[in-house]
Structure formats: structure tokens, C-alpha cells
A and B are shown apart, each in its own frame.
Chain A
Amino acid sequence: MEKELASSSNTNSLVDELAPLRRDMLKFARLQLRDDAAAEDAVQEALAAALTGQKQFNNRAQLKTWVFAILKNKIIDTIRERARSPGTSIDVDEIPEDAYDDLFNEGGFWQNDTRPSTWGDPENSFSSQQFWQIFEICLTRLPENTARVFMMREMLGFDTEEICKELAISSTNCWVVLHRARMGLRLCLDERWFNSENRDA
């Protein structure tokens, strides 16, 4: 009897600890899936799996890492299922080929005012909450499929071969999309954070 009580109170405390993570999880899943219902499902399943996992954690950061690892797997499952359903081919030319041509002169060298300047010690920004808000805004500003390919690569850890297979695009297309995504994200962070007067850090 005592044993049962102990285990049920453990479950309760895990529920309490997981509840505040739900919002962040949902935001992360929405960003990846760009579909509220699918994001909700992925988060629900991840939370359910976390509760049945019954693992013990010494601190909140550990718990968060573990729960997000489960969530990433759920998101990957969703992306795989989507890719298997017929008629899914994605438009990867959302950012036009010449979108970043203005950064370079005719010879293909940086223009004076677009040449990347140093970001100093950018890692310091990792401790700024405002930085992460800008980071999210910049990710959200990437076109849908471009963002999806980029996040599969950089957040979910797919290699490019897998991305090509899952999304039925050529490997050349995949590299092109990743490159344009990085160009876009770099410019956005450069303008809105590293060379912005509004930052607090």
C-alpha cells in the first residue's frame, strides 16, 4: 500500500514538472511541423511516453533534455508518415535563386556594405532571453519548406541523404535549400540582433 502511494505521488510530481514544459514543446513542434493539430498530437504523445517512462531526474534541465529527445522522435515519425502519403512533393524553390545576389558584386565578392562583419563573442548571446526570441522570429520568417529542411538538418539531426529520401528531393536541391536557409538566418540575426541597436546585451 505504502509502495503504491509512493509511486502515485512520483507520477503526480512528474506531471507537475512536465506541465510548464508543454508550452515550449508545443512551440517547438509547431515550428517544425507548421500544423497545429499535428504539433498538438506530437506533444501529447511525447508527454504520455514521458509519463510511462517513469524515469527519475536530478534537475529540471535533465528532464527537459529527455522530454525534448522524445518529442524530436515523435516529430520525426510525423514527418516520415507525411512523406509516405502519396502526392507529397514539396516546393523547395521558395527562396529564389537570385535572392542573395545583391550581397555580391559582379565578380562575386562581398559588397563593401554587405561584407560579413564580426559578431564578436556570439556565444554570450546564448544567455539572453531576448536573443532567443529573435532567433525564433528569424526561423519563423524562413519560408515553410525551407525551414522544414533546415530544421530537419540542424535540430532533428537528419543527414542530407535522409532528408532527400524523406522529402523526395534531389541532393543538389537539398544543399541549395540549406544554403539559402543559412543565408537568410544569418542575415536576419545580423540585422535584428548583432548589428541592431535594440539589443539589451
Chain B
Amino acid sequence: MLNCKKAAALMSQGMDKELGMMQKMSLRFHLMMCSGCRNFNKQMEFLRQGCRKFPQQDN
């Protein structure tokens, strides 16, 4: 079974390439049970959004 460390690596990799069928399934299963990784997953998506918006900011 997937642990959080491997799940985190897969979530990151999934942002750069299409994961395999088995990887997707084990990740989905892990996320169903792990709130920490669900939060992590949302935060990864947020980082991406932040990076896209970053150049347009006045700071």
C-alpha cells in the first residue's frame, strides 16, 4: 500500500506527466483515506495557480 511520502511524490509527478493506471488507482485509494494528502494535493494545485498569477502582481 502507498504511504504518504510516495503519494506526495506521485501527486507532484502527476502535475508533470500522465500517471499510469495503477499509480492513479493506488493514489486515489490513498487520498480517500488520508486527509493530510488531500490537503497536500490541493496545495500543489494552489502553487501552480500562484505561479501563473505571480508575474502579473504589483508588489
- Residues of A with Cβ closer than 8 Å to B? 24, 28, 61, 64-65, 68, 71-72, 103-104, 107-110, 115-119, 122-123, 126, 129, 132-133, 135-136, 139, 151, 153-155, 159-160, 174-175, 178-179, 182-183, 185-186, 189-190
CB distance from A129 to the nearest CB of B (A): 6
Least distance between A55 CB and chain B CB atoms (Å): 17
**Do B4 and A110 have beta carbons less than 8 Å apart?**
yes
- Dominant secondary structure at the B interface: helix
- Tell me the minimal C-beta distance from A31 to chain B in angstroms: 9
Q: Cα distance A185–B45 when bound, in Å?
A: 12
- Residues of chain A within 8 A (CB-CB) of B56 are 61, 64-65, 68
Q: In the complex, what residue of chain B is closest to A106 when comparing beta carbons?
A: B3
Are A179 and B13 within 8 A (Cβ)?
Answer: yes
Hey, what's the 0/1 contact readout for B8-30 against A, CB within 8 Å counting as 1?
11001101110000000000000
A-B contacts, 21 of them at CB < 8 A, read A65-B56, A71-B55, A103-B5, A107-B3, A108-B6, A109-B3, A109-B4, A116-B39, A117-B39, A118-B42, A122-B46, A123-B46, A132-B54, A132-B59, A133-B59, A135-B50, A154-B47, A159-B16, A179-B8, A179-B9, A179-B13
